[in-house]
Amino acid sequence: MKNFWAGIRAEIPLLIGVFPFGLIYGALALSAGLSTSTAQMMSSIVFAGSEQFITAQLVYESAPGFVIVLTIAVVNLRHMLYSASLAPYLAALPTRWKGLLSYLLTDEAYAPTIIHYEKEGITSYAHWYLFGAGFSLWFNWQISTALGIFLGTAIPESWSLDFALPLTFIAMVVPVLKDRPAIAAALAAGVVALIAFSLPYKLGLILAALVGITVGTVLEGRKSTRETLPPKDVL
Amino acid sequence: MNIWLVMLLGGLITFGMRFSLIYLFGRFQIPETMRKALHYVPPAVLSAIIFPELFLREGTLNLSFDNARLLAGLVAILVAWFSKNTLVTIIAGMVALFLLQFFL
């Protein structure tokens, strides 16, 4: 129980940060053309902020279902990293706990939990920390989505609220453009997305993403083979 | 495809990825190349969505000054760069679009 509350306490600043996004997501999902029930159910079933924003965008562009599912899969690959990173700490738990904690494993629950584990190591009730962080975030996300949906119905179309979606993506992407490979990945994907825009089924998006990922990975590979020689003063 | 089916599949995939390596602990490890590639998923996917939203109007390239969304997007990129704050960026972009639509 101590760990459960500690997890919630560590999550509070993140809850405050996430709450407005639940609101925005709820309002946007409606303006993108999702029904109130699908918008809310997506928050409970998928429970992943950026994937939900992207799904809303693709519904708005009337992309076919398989492209949406494929895009969700690509965007979600990073969760395998969190899964891999927490796996050794959760190894001893029964499968139903692993399942529940996996469902609650978001970026915002992962961050404080991994720090906690690295500091405290595995103690007998340590998983309650992740449960506290994950559950409080889940609860917060459901409430903020509902409120956003409620407010969204009141916002007139002339406000161009749909533009808040690409703006959200801009705010997410700019901070990760820290080095040349990342910038190259972003530019390559963007340009291919423009060229391939007229491809059927919105396949241009998937193609552009794959090109961008490849460009970034290849450039990073080159850089690291150059930098494998350790600097002299270390030796 | 029905939107409910899309959501269900999306939810299953999301859960599957979160559960995968917790479940398979000790039996599978992410290869190094994939670990690297994962790093570039956010910039690639997000840019692939952003670019057409800013540059294309009704499916054709519009680089002129009457493309309010492109200009507002550039404002947002600058604000994101300096503020590193998501909410501030969204508000700045929306205000910019609103003003540009009003004056152009």
**Mean pLDDT (chain A, rounded):** 86
Q: Would you say residue B92 has pLDDT above 50?
A: yes
pLDDT at res. B93 = 95
Q: Would you say residue A225 has pLDDT above 70?
A: no
Q: How confident is the model at residue A165 (pLDDT cuts 50, 70, 90)?
A: confident
* Residue type at A4 in one-letter notation: F
Mean pLDDT of B4-14: 91
Whether A23 and chain B come into contact, CB under 8 Å, resolves to: no
pLDDT at res. A48 = 87
pLDDT at res. A169 = 86
Within 10 angstroms of residue B54's Cβ, the number of other Cβ atoms is 22
The CA–CA distances, whole Å, from B49 to A169, A233, A235 equal 8, 45, 46
Three-state SS sequence of B34-47: HHHHHCCHHHHHHH
DSSP classification of residue A189: H
Mean pLDDT of A138-159: 88
Whether A196 and chain B come into contact, CB under 8 Å, resolves to: no
Cβ-defined contact of A167 to B73 (cutoff 8 Å): yes
Q: How confident is the model at residue A233 (pLDDT cuts 50, 70, 90)?
A: very low
Residues of A in contact with B23 (CB under 8 A): 95, 98, 102
Residues of B in contact with A81 (CB under 8 A): 30, 35, 38
CA B7 from chain centre, in angstroms, equals 19
Q: Evaluate whether A10 touches A112 at the Cβ level (below 8 Å).
A: yes
Whether B2 and chain A come into contact, CB under 8 Å, resolves to: yes
Mean pLDDT of A85-101: 90
Whether A221 and chain B come into contact, CB under 8 Å, resolves to: yes
How many angstroms separate the CA atoms of B55 and B58, rounded? 10
pLDDT at res. A203 = 86
Nearest by Cα to A21 from B30, B35, B85? B85
Whether A18 and chain B come into contact, CB under 8 Å, resolves to: no
3-state secondary structure of A155: coil
Determine the longest span between alpha carbons in chain A, in angstroms: 65
Residues of B (36-55) whose Cβ lies below 8 Å from A:
36-55
The predicted complex's ipTM stands at 0.88
How many angstroms separate the CA atoms of A142 and A70, rounded? 25
Q: Would you say residue A235 has pLDDT above 80?
A: no
How many angstroms separate the CA atoms of A19 and A21, rounded? 5
- pLDDT tens, residue by residue, A104-135: 998 888 888 888 888 888 888 889 999 999 99
- Pinpoint the alpha helices (H) of A77-202: 78-90, 95-103, 107-120, 127-152, 164-173, 180-195
Cβ-defined contact of A103 to B15 (cutoff 8 Å): yes
DSSP classification of residue A125: T
Residues of A in contact with B39 (CB under 8 A): 182, 216-217, 220
Residues of B in contact with A24 (CB under 8 A): 90
Cβ-defined contact of B80 to A84 (cutoff 8 Å): no
How many angstroms separate the CA atoms of A170 and B51, rounded? 10
Q: Evaluate whether A172 touches B42 at the Cβ level (below 8 Å).
A: yes
pLDDT at res. A224 = 60
pLDDT at res. A230 = 41
Residues of A (103-122) whose Cβ lies below 8 Å from B:
103, 105
Residues 6+ apart with CB under 8 A from B102: none
How many angstroms separate the CA atoms of A103 and A131, rounded? 10
- pLDDT tens, residue by residue, A175-200: 889 899 999 999 999 999 999 998 88
Q: Which one of B43, B47, B87 has the shortest CB-CB distance to A20?
A: B87
Q: Evaluate whether B17 touches A83 at the Cβ level (below 8 Å).
A: yes
Residues of A in contact with B25 (CB under 8 A): 87-88, 90-91
